[in-house]
Chains A and B, each alone.
Chain A
Amino acid sequence: MKKISTLSATQIRTRRGIFTLGVTTLVSGLVFVVLPKDPQNTSFGFLLGGEWELFRQWDVNSRTGAAIFVALSLACTMYGYFRFLKDKKSLAFTLLGGFSLLMAFLCWAGSGKFIPFTGIVAGGLVLAVPLIFGAMAGVICERSGVINIAIEGQLLAAAFAAGVVASLTKSTFWGLLVAPIAGALISVILATFAIKYQIDQVILGFVINVLVIGITGFFYKKLLIPYQETWNTGPILQPIKIPLLSKIPILGPILFHQTIIVYLMYAAVALTHYYLFKTRWGLRTRAVGEHPTAADSFGIKVNALRFRNVIIAGAVAGLGGAYFTVGAVGAFSKEMTAGKGFIALAALIFGRWSPSVQSRLHFSLDLLTIFKLFYQSSELESPVNSY
């Protein structure tokens, strides 16, 4: 006999989050604080250049540092649980606790090393760009009732188009302009088959991905490799400093010394949120997604609205795809999106179909990735290899 729970789904989720954080904190305490044998100093660098100096560097013994952050995380867990018992929101504390654990990990991993903190976080933000655009595209589609597994294909097609066009015109502007169009074209296929021919959308998305991988791979080998000079040597976007804002210590260079794609990303998150929840279009979109028959009886043209929204979503994903070529390396390479579309999809569900939660979530996912990159590049003995 199952015990009847009086908690709502949200409350159960919150409780699960707090418990997970608590367990992770205890494990981290063991691994980062108790077990290490020969703790050395970890130095965090906080200066990237160009901003007003707040503090340059922070040296701390790796065990002490890890202990501080584990203790902080423990405090967050307890206070979060306290707030949960009083039926208040505790998400902020869960996130803060998670962040503290990351810092504890850094103290432990960077023992005896220098860690350019602002550089890492800025890099994490840049890596998050395609994921956030992809997830925004996913939100718009899913809120209007179309499952979009083809994000990967939209990113890849846009990366290809942006790379080739930027290379042919020698201008990042045209590359950036073409990317959303390419994404939208993939969306036209998605919308036609999903809405007009009513194919199972999960299967359809999967097939579109295969199709785009095939087409871009085909032309990559047939055109981009043999005629690399003209077809695949695109220019790269340069970072733009926003006056004053980029001078803010620590946050400035992270948020306001980036390429235009990152600024577009801020806009995309804000606009998606605003349009979905504050406008008539958003209300209709959500109605069509939640209950199409009801929306139809109110005189909303369900299929037309879905068609338009899927195409808008494709354009948004396309901007994210531009990051891979004009935003990062310039040249296109085969399957260069490497499953980012699927990770965006996973985060979309993890972020509960809401634009604002997602951007925060992505950022933390990407911090993890960049920490991993840093970890690999810093010639530390990886714990995996030593067993």
Chain B
Amino acid sequence: MKRLSLKAFILPFLSFFLAIFIGGLLIAFSDPKVLKLRGDFLEMIRVGASTAWSAYVALFQGAIYDPNLAAKGGGQGFYPLSETLVVSGPLILAGLAVALAFRAGLFNIGAQGQFIFGAIGASYVGFTFDLPIVVHVIVAIAFGTFLGGLWGGIAGLLKAKTGAHEVIVTIMLNYVAANFILWLLKTNAFLREGRTDPIAPEVLSNSRLPRFFGEEFRVSAAILVALLVAWLVSVLLDRTTWGYQFKAVGANSTAAKTAGMSVPFVMTSVMIVCGAIAGLGGAVNVLGAEYALTTGIAGSFGFDAITVALLGRAKPLGVVFSAFLFAGLRVGGQMMQARTETPLDLILIVQALIILFIAAPALVKGIFRLKNVSASTGMAAKGWNG
């Protein structure tokens, strides 16, 4: 294994800095207060900078530590950090599902659908059966993971058997999953008693993941599960034959075939594993944080997962770090939107810009006049016929 060097962090850091800077420009120059000062350019820059600064301060306070809440005592100041960790858990898992597929040369846009099915499975087991403690949570997680794996496996099997491109298949399966959950929550099996709006019953207490700091802080064992799986994925990729096959097919499927590997088997199995990991993300989101299945259970996890995997260069450790970063941006973005009227969409722009800059190392190197910075992206998604 290569040792992590400082150089590997320079490019992501500069990209992040640049994206935040451009985001700041957008905040500043779309603000009515700033636009009014059209005549005085220096004043415009000063007011603009302070507007952008206050937006980013709100972002930080909403993501990590909020002094306003801290006044209430009892460690309340760290409530935002707890929320960031709550989002991080499922996001790491969904990100791993995309990253692992990248390593095998597949572009898994379907994390969203796999996530949804994982959530459905965990929720169903969670509120339907009454099992003893520990067993219940394991069964619920296992069923969610199984459904996610099944959903991912469909795309893998279609790719392996018929050559259907996984990008198209997974996009379409996302639509199917999104509409399926809409329908499912209207059926009697999933309708909460006495409610007509689409929300499932809460999962039973035996099936919930334990919370560390009392019920107020939603951070639960989900984050530990996510870190464990990240470690397992890195072991799978670096220490097993199976993982080696994934990477070999990703690097050059023709060579892998010549070397005697079964490319269809690898493609199907990698998509099953990816689907299972994303499904696990959905399961821990239900069992650890939300408790009840709703139509918005998957939020934008599946799509953020892609940006997470890209920023993390499709490596498990990278995915963990970038999931923390994007979870913080997303959670803090809510606070920024509430306090400074900066739309949450700014987070999307920053995310997209970070990825663009990271993917085009030549551009960032040109801007900062750098030399000799490691620039491999670690990804090998192919064209339509790859």
* Shortest beta-carbon distance from A131 to chain B in Å: 14
A345 to B343, CA, bound (A): 30
Residues 362-386 (chain B) with a chain A CB within 8 angstroms: 362-363, 377, 379-381, 383-384
Are B303 and A210 in contact (CB-based, < 8 A)? Answer: yes
Q: A208 and B352: CB pair below 8 A? A: yes
Distance to closest chain A CB from B2 (angstroms): 22
Tell me whether A219 is interfacial, beta carbon within 8 Å: yes
CB interface residues, B 331-375, toward A, < 8 Å? 343-353, 355-356, 359-360, 362-363
Q: Does B346 lie within 8 Å of A206, measured CB to CB?
A: no
Identify which of B8-16, B39-47, B168-176, B191-199 touches chain A: B168-176
Task: Name the residue on B nearest A212 (C-beta).
Answer: B352
B187 beta carbon closer than 8 Å to chain A: yes
Expressed in whole angstroms, the Cα–Cα distance for A211 and B348 within the complex equals 7
Contact with B along A290-309 (1 / 0, CB 8 A): 00000000000000000000
Chain B residues, CB < 8 A from A385:
186
Q: Using a CB-CB cutoff of 8 Å, which residues 211-263 of chain A contact chain B?
A: 211, 213-215, 217-223
User: Which candidate, A72-80, A104-112, A164-172, A196-204, is the interface stretch facing chain B?
Assistant: A196-204
User: Smallest CB–CB gap between A347 and chain B, Å?
Assistant: 10
The answer to whether A147 has its CB under 8 Å from any CB of chain B is: yes
How far does the Cβ of A239 sit from chain B's closest Cβ, in whole Å? 31
Identify whether the interface residues of B are mostly helix, strand, loop, or mixed.
helix
The residue from B183, B345, B362, B363 contacting A218, defined by CB atoms under 8 A apart: B345
* A221-B343 contact in complex given A207-B352, A211-B353, C-beta closer than 8 Å: yes
Considering only CB atoms and an 8 Å cut-off, how many residues of chain A contact the other chain? 34
Q: How far is the CA of A233 from the CA of B349 in the complex (A)?
A: 26
Determine if B26 and A218 form an interchain contact, defined as CB atoms under 8 angstroms apart.
yes
Instruction: Determine if B298 is an interface residue (Cβ-Cβ < 8 Å).
Output: no
Interface: A55 (CB within 8 A): no
Give chain B interface residues in 24-82, CB to chain A under 8 Å. 26, 30
Q: When the two chains form their complex, are residues B30 and A193 in contact, meaning their CB atoms are under 8 A apart? A: no
A349 close to B (CB within 8 Å)? yes
> Considering only CB atoms, which chain A residue lies closest to B384 in the complex?
A147
Say whether B158 faces chain A, with CB atoms less than 8 Å apart: no
Answer whether residue B230 sits at the interface, using C-beta atoms and an 8 A cutoff. Answer: no
* CB <8 Å contact, A213 and B187: no
Q: Does any Cβ of B come within 8 Å of A342's Cβ?
A: yes
For the complex, is A149 an interface residue (Cβ under 8 Å from B)?
Answer: yes
B18 at the interface (CB under 8 A from A): no
What's the minimum C-beta distance from A357 to chain B, rounded to whole angstroms? 17
Taken together as a complex, chains A and B put the C-alpha atoms of A349 and B363 apart, in Å, by: 32
State the CA gap A200–B381 with chains docked (Å): 7
* Bound CA span A28–B72, Å: 65
Q: Given A193-B359, A208-B352, A387-B187, are A219 and B383 also a contact pair (CB < 8 Å)?
A: no
Known contacts A214-B348, A218-B343; decide if A193 and B360 are in contact (CB<8 Å). Answer: yes
Q: Is A50 part of the contact surface with B, judged by Cβ < 8 Å?
A: no
Instruction: Please indicate the chain B residues that have their CB under 8 angstroms from the CB of A219 in the complex.
Output: 30
B348 partner, pick from A149, A200, A202, A217, beta carbons under 8 A:
A217
User: Chain B: how many interface residues by the 8 Å CB criterion?
Assistant: 40
**Given the known A-B contacts A202-B381, A221-B343, are A207 and B310 also in contact in the complex, defined by CB atoms under 8 Å?**
yes
The CA-CA distance from A345 to B377 in the complex, in Å, is 26
> B167 — which chain A residues lie within 8 A by C-beta?
149, 202
In the complex, the answer to whether A217 meets B345 with C-beta atoms within 8 Å is yes
Cβ of B188 to closest chain A Cβ, rounded Å: 9
Q: How far is the CB of B99 from chain A (nearest CB, A)?
A: 12
A201 to B349, Cβ gap below 8 A?
Answer: no
Indicate whether A201 sits within 8 Å of B183 (C-beta atoms), given known contacts A211-B352, A217-B343, A349-B165: no
| Chain A residue nearest in CB terms to B386 | A202
Assess whether B352 is in contact with A214, with CB atoms less than 8 Å apart. Answer: yes
Tell me, in angstroms, the Cα distance from A346 to B26 when the chains sit together: 34
Closest to A222 in B: B30
Q: A218-B343, A221-B343 given as contacts; is B355 within 8 A of A197 (CB)? A: no
Within 8 A of A (CB), among B154-170: 165, 167-168
B306 interfacial contact with A, CB 8 Å: yes
C-alpha spacing A206/B187, complex, angstroms: 34
- Across the interface, name the chain B residue whose C-beta is closest to A223: B30
Contact (A218, B349) CB under 8 Å given A203-B107, A203-B381? yes
Q: Among residues 139 to 177 in chain A, which have CB atoms less than 8 Å away from a CB atom of chain B?
A: 142, 147, 149
Is A1 part of the contact surface with B, judged by Cβ < 8 Å?
A: no
Nearest 6 interchain pairs by C-beta: A214-B348, A217-B345, A211-B352, A214-B349, A221-B343, A197-B360
Given contacts A200-B381, A214-B348, 19 further A-B contacts (CB under 8 A): A147-B383, A147-B384, A193-B356, A200-B380, A202-B381, A203-B355, A206-B306, A207-B310, A207-B352, A207-B355, A210-B351, A211-B348, A211-B349, A217-B343, A218-B345, A219-B30, A221-B343, A223-B30, A349-B384
15 CB contacts below 8 A, A to B, read A147-B384, A199-B360, A200-B377, A207-B307, A207-B359, A211-B348, A211-B356, A214-B349, A217-B345, A221-B343, A222-B30, A342-B171, A345-B168, A349-B165, A349-B168
